Structure 1
Amino acid sequence: MSLDTSRWRTPSNYDYTDDLNAPDVGWEWLRRNEDYQNDFDALQTAPTHTPALIERASLRWGLRFRSPAEPQRH
């Protein structure tokens, strides 16, 4: 996952951040973090999502993964 950083200094590209809540700001930081990108790539390319990989992501990044059978909360 490689981000396009060519226009990061253009203020209008970040107007949307004025309305972000705390979790959204966290996601904006997290998705730009190279270590997170590497871990995400490892999860995406793993033949199966083993409990060890999921546990590592959970502990390292504070993420929780919903079970496919678990209903969404709104």
Structure 2
Amino acid sequence: MLSINWRVTAAYGYAEVIPPADFAWEYLRRHEVYHRDFQTISRVKEPGAADLETFAHRWGLRFPM
């Protein structure tokens, strides 16, 4: 379980003015299943393109080419 206190509203005032991508990251970085998936794929020395595509698609990620 993550140890982030989401109920401290003063810590999130900046969320009203950040771009949508940054707001999405604020959500994603707190998601336990994302953390588990990231740990799994990051343990692979050279993940295959299909694995990376599946990971990116599942979490709505886009990477610059």
Q: TM-score range by the shorter chain?
A: 0.7 to 0.9
- Quote how far apart the aligned CAs of 1:9 are: 2.0
Gaps of 5+ in 2: none
Question: Aligned match of 2:39 in 38, 41, 52?
Answer: 41
Identical amino acids, percent of aligned pairs: 35
Which structure 1 segments of 5+ residues have no match?
Answer: 68-74
Corresponding residue pairs, total: 65
Q: CA RMSD in A?
A: 1.9
Q: 1:17, CA displacement in angstroms?
A: 0.9
Could you state the TM-score of these two structures normalised by the residue count of structure 2? 0.74
Q: In structure 2, what is the equivalent of residue 27 of structure 1?
A: 25
- Between the aligned partners of 1:10 and 1:64, the Cα distance in structure 2 is 30
Which of the pair is proportionally richer in helix?
A: 2
- State the structure with bigger RCO (CA 8 A, min sep 6), 1 or 2: 2
Q: Which has the larger radius of gyration?
A: 1
* One-letter identity of the residue aligned with 1:36: Y
Q: TM-score, normalised by structure 1?
A: 0.68
